[in-house]
Amino acid sequence: MNFELVVEKIKRNIEPYQTEPRSFIYLALNENPYSFPEELIQQCFETMDPTKMNLYVEAPLKEFLKELVEYVSTNGWRAKEEQISVGNGADEIIYVLLLMFKDLSIYVFPPTYSCYEIFANALGVKVNKIALKEEKIDVNSLKEVLNEGCVVFLPNPNNPTGHLFKDEEISWLLNTKALLVLDEAYYEFCGKTFAPLIDEFSNLIILRTFSKAFALASQRIGYILADPSLIDAYNRIRLPYNVSYLGQICAMTALRNRHIFQERVKKIVEERERLKTTLKSLGLNVSDSQTNFVFVYLKPDEAWKIYSALLDRGITVRMTELGLRISVGQPQQNDLLIETMEGLL
């Protein structure tokens, strides 16, 4: 196959990466509505070692790894350094995992995070899709399917619906012996984690990110928790020096000042609950989101009508096949969103 045919195949099978122009209020990418604190930016630059700027710096830095161990340890469970690694955003980790396990059977449960399938398509990896039933995993369709030759990608809380899966659903998946990649990108907004189970289940991988609660989306920093053997394999295949020195310093500074972000998360959660309550009062079917966004189930024509009306007011949200995903903004931004929705409904 010559290169022209390869290019045509890529263009045919993979959607191009596109970004929407930023509107006055952009509530489409689940970003933190609050900027990274200015006082911490000063701390970041004071922490940086200028003599490292011209060097390839290890990832994770030893100091950063120690901070991660402290942060992820919870409820009497203590993580080990050899159970953790980092990525250029959680997305890079997903891409590397798909590359590592491309010869196994990959499963996702739509509606789910779109990048699982996008990255798989880019790598020529087939994805098996078993749709959720009323926000629940369809166990009956999976009983005879999942085994140690399978990999399951599951966001918890889910994206785009924002709901948490039940403990028994996660437990059932783990006991199938399939490799379970549990994407906890929104962990800070719900406080629910299965990280301690990596000591018990060698088939569990936890993913997290600094893009949401810690307001560092621009720095692209994610991390992975898993059995040391899996981390060792991951470190052998990921790109060397894959997370920038500045990014690691920013993440480390955020962890050392996490009380600031925890207070902001509380505000975001309060606003999320206000949005859920208000949208339900308008007669809308709203998922019980435990993230920094809300999800409204709508028919396509209804979703398009509301999406367009919001866009006319300078508000951008994310439109999906099942409805609208709306990132939680600052209170005044949410006020304008609610005002527009009330006018429509």
Using CA atoms, how far apart are residues 161 and 110, in angstroms rounded to an integer? 10
Looking up tokens 């609050």 gives 34
Task: Give the pLDDT of residue 96.
Answer: 98
Beta strands in 58-178 (DSSP E): 84-87, 105-108, 127-129, 150-155
At a CB cut-off of 8 Å and minimum separation 6, what does 291 contact?
A: 30, 157, 159, 162, 186, 189, 190, 272
At a CB cut-off of 8 Å and minimum separation 6, what does 104 contact?
A: 149, 150, 151, 179
Instruction: Give, in words, the CATH class of 38-256.
Output: alpha beta
What is the pTM assigned to this prediction? 0.95
Task: Give the pLDDT of residue 218.
Answer: 96
Task: Give, as one character, the DSSP assignment of residue 279.
Answer: H
Question: In order along the chain (345 residues), what is the average pLDDT of each group of 10 residues?
Answer: 75 76 88 97 95 96 98 96 98 98 97 96 95 96 95 98 98 98 98 98 98 97 98 96 97 98 98 98 97 97 94 94 97 95 89
Query: Domain 3-30+259-344 carries which CATH code?
Result: 3.90.1150.10
Domain ranges of the chain: 3-30+259-344, 38-256
Closest CA to 187 of 207, 203, 161: 207
Beta-bridge partner residues of 182: 154, 206
Locate 33 and state its tokens: 């509505």
Beta strands in the chain (DSSP E): 25-27, 84-87, 105-108, 127-129, 150-155, 179-183, 204-209, 222-226, 285-286, 293-297, 315-319, 323-327
Task: Give the pLDDT of residue 1.
Answer: 58
Neighbours of 47 (CB within 10 A): 14
